[in-house]
Amino acid sequence: MLSSIARRAARVSRTTRRLQSTTSTTATSSNSGGFGRYLRIASLVSTIGLSAYTAGSLYPPPIATLISPRPGQPPPDPSDPGTIAYVEALEDTLHNLPLLKNHRSRPDAHDWYEARPYAKLPEERRVNSLTAGTLRGAGKLAVPPIVRARRDESESILFFHVGRSLCGHEGIIHGGLLATILDESLGRIALLNLPEKIGVTANLNLNYRAPTRADQFLVVKTRVLEQKGRKVVVAGTVEDLQGTVLVDATAVFIQPKYAKLLNTKQIREYMGEPPDSNEPIVEGTVAPVPMPPDAIKDAKVAA
């Protein structure tokens, strides 16, 4: 009986050793396969990550440039030949914008006229103008805008370029600069609809719809909503060349009661009113110019 028990114990021991050996081999094989699979996944992830980083560095997507914008160059020397060539190239590009060329060839093109605001502003007067002087130059407002306006002054469209030196957040045009551009663009059409062609901004409401990237051509569209006496209500948008609305605005302009005492002819010409005279501009500023004393007396008598 003891021998029978001993034999049974020996069989159990051999069976146990075989099971332990099989389990150990399986575990080793499993661990080896899992480690290899881990290496393959890690290699694939690294390859994809390196490729994505390289592609992103060369061709950054829009969201990446918003989060981590690239540093811009400082404003160039205006007298440098390269700067002069750059501004001339921008001027040529402006005139050849497909949107502008299409507008010039519209069936109703004869109902519109074209102007360049501040083009007649004497150089010595530019130093006292924000958009025609202080902000003018390569990297800023490099070239004067081109305006296409209806002859009845009911609507207009302006084409202009914004450089990298006009940013708030790096690579994104400052919202205050866009407000200035809209104020002047809306003011132009509003003033030309006032009795004495002179007015001041009473109210300006803006809605910023999307970031405005620097170093691109933009379009400002304006239209008259209401004109009553000394008050004009206007609306407008800033858009990119693809038609995306970046800013929309409404504004109210009021003609001051003393407008008849001011000489506004030169101001209208500075804004790009339809040319009706070859009279040279030799005086005046962007602000209203007082009339001579004798003219003031005559205006008071006429009033």
Secondary structure element (H or E) that encloses residue 182, with its range: helix 175-191
Dist CA 108 CA 103 (whole Å)? 9
Domain boundaries, the chain: 81-271
| 226 alpha-carbon distance from chain centroid | 28
The whole-model pTM stands at: 0.68
Residue-level pLDDT, tens digit, the chain, 303 residues: 545 555 555 565 565 556 555 555 555 555 556 667 777 777 777 787 777 666 555 555 665 555 555 565 666 777 788 889 999 999 999 999 999 999 999 999 999 999 998 877 788 888 888 998 899 999 999 999 999 999 999 999 999 999 999 999 889 999 999 999 999 999 999 999 999 888 999 999 999 999 999 999 999 999 999 999 999 999 999 999 999 999 999 999 999 988 777 766 666 666 776 655 433 333 333 333 334 444 444 444 444
Place of tokens 């592609």: 55
Q: Is 207 exposed, middle or buried (0-12, 13-18, 19+ CB in 10 A)?
A: exposed
Task: Note the CATH architecture for domain 81-271.
Answer: Roll (3.10)
How far apart, in Å, do the first and last CA atoms of the chain sit? Answer: 141
